[in-house]
Amino acid sequence: MNTASPPTEFQPRTVRLSASAWVVGAGLWAIASAQAQGIYVCTDSKGRRITSDRPIVECLDREQRQLGKTGTVRQVVPPSYTADERARLEEKQKAENDIKARATEEKRRERALLIRYPNQAVHDKERAEALAQIDEVIAAVNKREVALKQQRKEVDVEMEFYQADPSKAPFWLRRKLEDSEKQTVVQKRFLEEQAQEKQRINQRFDEELVKLRALWPPSSAAGSAGTVKR
């Protein structure tokens, strides 16, 4: 009767085969991994073209392209910056973002301006209405000024009796004279403020008109309501 040979005689060969298979497998895995990662390509500071299966140390300060196995660019790896370089780049990026934000806001304002004033006739009409409101206030103040002048005449007539020594005038009369002078000063200041307000209104509409003429189509710009009284 045949008996099987002891398995221990073949054990070393089995171990050797297993180890060889593991080494081959590890090598194949490494190759596959490198192929999966792709090839890094860059041109260093000396103008040399360098390729590697991992990020290239000589090109950490510049972009590196990662190529796939077909040679197409899979991604662009940005430079690795120092803290100071990153801070400068962030500051530059912030400035660029601010410029873009201001440009976007300016576009929004231009659209709003066009919606509010589709042509010059509408713009001129609103200017005239704004100025008319100020003129109404000024007219009311001027009427008040006439009344104040009349009151001042009455006070002056009564103060004629005390020309030699105004301090001897009754308290109520001196108080009335003081109030009249204060109201005259307030009146004058208010009229000056209204005149300045008219200037501000005209300046605002003038600035808007410059922008709008650049935004309006020729037909809209031509639709003027005429010269606005300032």
pLDDT (tens place) for every residue of the chain, 230 residues total: 444 445 444 444 444 444 444 443 443 334 344 445 689 999 998 999 999 998 988 898 889 999 988 889 999 988 887 778 878 888 998 999 999 999 999 999 999 999 999 999 999 999 999 999 999 999 988 888 888 887 888 777 777 777 777 777 788 877 887 888 888 888 889 999 999 999 999 999 999 999 999 999 987 665 554 555 56
pLDDT at 22: 42
Which residues lie below 8 Å from residue 134, measured CB to CB, with a gap of 6+?
Answer: 194, 197, 198, 201
Question: What is the domain extent for residue 29?
Answer: 13-77
Residues 139 and 190 in one domain: yes
Dihedral, 196, 197, 201, 203 alpha carbons, nearest 10: 20
Sign of CA dihedral 4, 6, 9, 14: positive
47 shares a domain with 24: yes
**pLDDT at site 70:** 86
pLDDT for residue 154: 79
Taking the C-alpha atoms of residue 194 and residue 190, their distance in angstroms, rounded to an integer, is 6
* Domain-located, residue 1: no
Is residue 162 situated within a structural domain?
Answer: yes
Strands of 73-77's sheet in order across: 49-52, 39-43, 64-67, 73-77
pTM (predicted TM-score):
0.53
The answer to whether position 2 is within a domain reads no
- Asked if the structure places residue 4 within a domain, the reply is no
For the chain, the domain total comes to 3
38 Ramachandran zone, left/alpha/beta (phi>0; psi -120 to 50): left
